[in-house]
Structure 1
C-alpha cells in the first residue's frame, strides 16, 4: 500500500507559459528532499498557450506530480478541485507566476511534523521588481499566536491577509470549508471561518514566498463583479466571526463605502453598506484600541453624509 503524502501542493495554472518554468524550478529548489513526502497537484484550467506542454515536461521528471485538465475559467472551482484531489495531511497553494525561496520547505516540513499545528501562516513577501528576488531568508522562526490574535491581525491587515497561497493548513479544515466558485476573493470567502476552526496557530514573519504583483492584478483592475464578490465575502465574514470583532469588521465596510460605493449597482447592496457605515458612529467604535486612528477619521468623515 502506497504511503500517503504529507503535504499537498496545489498549483492553479492558466496561460502561464512565460512564468511557470521559474515557478516549478523554485518549488523543486525549495523542497529539496521533502519532495518525497509531497504531491504536486497542477490544475491546467483551459490554457491556450504552451502551458500544458510545460506541465507535462515537468511531470515527466517527478513522479509526485498529478495533472488535471479542466475548463472552468474560474479560480475558485480550480482550487476546490485541487483540494478534492489532495491526500496530504496539510495543503499549501502556489500560484503559477510566483516564486518560493530556495531551501525553505524542508525546515517547514520538519516543523509541521514536530509541532502539528492547525495552521502555519506566513506573511507573503510582495514584490514588483523581479530583479529584487534574491532568496534571502532568515530561517524558520514561527511564533505561536492565539486564535483571537490571528483574527485581529487579519482584520487590521497586519501581516495576515486572506491568501491561501503560501499558507500551510490542515486538509481537514479545507474539507470543512468548500472554496466557492468565484473568479476572485475565493480565499477571502473561507479564510475567516477557517481561523475560527483553528486553535494551534503559528505565524512566520519572514516569508518563504515571493508574491509577485504584476500589471493588471486584481487590486489594480477591479470591476463590478469583483466588487460584488467583495461585498458577499464581507457579509459572510460578519456572519462567521464572533461579535466581539464587529468594530474591526466595520473598518472593512468603511473601505467598501469610500472606495467602491459608486460602483454598487443594486440598491439593496448600497443600503447594506450605508447601514454598516452608520454603525461606525458609535462610542464603542471610537474607543476600540484595535481600530486604527485612520479608520476613526474615515468614520468621522462620513458622519454628515449619512
Structure 2
C-alpha cells in the first residue's frame, strides 16, 4: 500500500491534543488530567484542552488552575452549555496537535499504554508517514463492581503495520470502533466538519462513524489505553436514561443515516460492510428502546424513522430491516416485544456494554 507523506508543519509542535469535555466535572477531572500528564511524562509535545461546557460547580476554576500550573501543556476553554458534541468541537477548534483524541472527564488513560501510543505517533511524524487514524483498545471499568472488560480488535485489524480498509477482517458485534478507541489526525476531522448537534447525547456515534471514509491509512496498537468508567448513576448509557432520551437516539441515528448512501458513497467493500453493521446497530437500538419506552407516540416515531430510511436508501433499509439484527429487534406483538427485550438483555450481559 502506498503511504502518503506528511507535509512538514513547523508552526505546530504538538504531537497530540487531548480534548476533555467537562460539565460539572470537578469531582472527576483531576484523575483524568493527571493520568494524561503522568502517562506522557509531562511532555511538551502533548496538549490538554479542558473544555468547560457551562459548568455550575468548581469546574471552571479548576480548569483555570490546571492551566496556570502547566502553561504550554494545558489550556482551559470556557463556553456556554452546548452539550457533549459542542465541547468536543470546541476542543477540536483549539487543537494544535497533529492528532486529536477525546477523553471524557470521568474516564482516564493507562500510563504505560499512553507512553507506547506517543512513541508510535512521534515515529509517524518523524518519518513523514501520514496515518489518518490510530486505533487502540478500551476497557469498561465497572468500579462499583470491581470488574473490568476489555474490547480489543486482534482478529479484526492487522497489527504492527499501517493498513487500509481493504486489509481489515470482520468485526464481532461487540467490536465496534467507538470514540474511546479512536485517535484521528486533526485535519481529518476539520476538513469537512462534523454534524454535531447541540444539547444531544450519543453524538459519540457520529464521531466514530462519519469521519471513517476520510481515513485512508490506519494503525492498530494492541494496547489497553482508554479506561471507560461505567455504572455511575445518571450515566448516559444507563438503560433507564437511554429510554428517557429516546428522542436523542433518533436524532443521532438520522444524522448518521443522512451522512451516506453507503452502497454508492463508500468505495471499500469492507468499510461499507462495517459501516452498514454499525448503522444497523443504531437502528436496532432505536427499535429496542422504543419497546422499553412508555412514551406516547414512540411507536409511531419509530415507524416514521424506518419509513424515512426506506425513502432515503432502499438498499440500506433492506440490509438494516431484514438482516438478523433488524429482524429480531422488530418482532411484532406482545410476545415479539418480550422476545426482543429478552435478547437485548441477554446481549448486554454477554457483551457488558452497559
When normalised by structure 1's length, the TM-score is: 0.78
Tell me the distance in 2 between the aligned counterparts of 1:181 and 1:278.
24
1:51 lines up with 2:62 in the alignment: no
Whole-Å separation in 1 of the counterparts to 2:276 and 2:109: 36
- Given that 1:120 and 1:168 are in contact with CA atoms closer than 8 Å, whether structure 2 keeps it comes out as yes
**Residue 60 of structure 2 aligns to a residue in which SS?**
helix
Q: Which residue of 2 aligns with 1:159?
A: 175
Contact 1:162 1:191 in 2 (8 A): yes
Shift of 1:189: 1.9
Q: For the residues of structure 2 that align with 1:28 and 1:256, how far apart are their CA atoms?
A: 39
1:62 equivalent to 2:70? Answer yes
Following superposition, the deviation at residue 56 of structure 1 comes to 2.2
Distance 1:268 1:215 in 2: 28
**Count of residue correspondences:** 289
* 3-state DSSP of counterpart to 1:218: coil
Deviation per CA, 1:26-54, whole angstroms, max 9, x where unpaired?
11111115x21022111111111112222
In structure 2, distance between residues paired with 1:257 and 1:296: 9
Is structure 2 residue 187 aligned with structure 1 residue 172?
yes
Higher relative contact order (CA 8 A, sep 6+): 1
1:271 aligns with 2:265: no
The correspondence of residues 215-230 of structure 1 with structure 2, limited to 5 A, is: 215-220=233-238, 221-222=241-242, 223-230=245-252
- Within the candidate set 216, 219, 222, 1:199 is matched to 216
Question: 2:346 is matched with which residue?
Answer: none
CA distance in 2, matches of 1:217, 1:106: 29
In 2, Cα distance between equivalents of 1:2 and 1:296: 49
Label 1:233 to 1:42 Cα distance change in 2 as closer, same or farther (>3 A): same
In structure 2, relative to structure 1, the CA distance for the partners of 1:151 and 1:198 (3 Å cut) is farther
For each residue in 1:92-117, what CA deviation from the matched residue of structure 2 results, as whole angstroms up to 9, or x when unmatched? 11111111112332321221132342
Structure 2 spans left out of the alignment, 5+ residues? 1-9, 151-158, 311-315, 337-354
Kindly indicate whether residue 140 of structure 2 is the aligned counterpart of residue 126 of structure 1: yes
Say if 1:302 and 1:147 are closer, same or farther in 2 by CA, change over 3 A: farther
Q: TM-score, normalised by structure 2?
A: 0.69
Q: Deviations over 1:145-167 (max 9, x none)?
A: 542566963xx54433331x453
The gaps in structure 1 that reach 5 residues or longer are 287-293
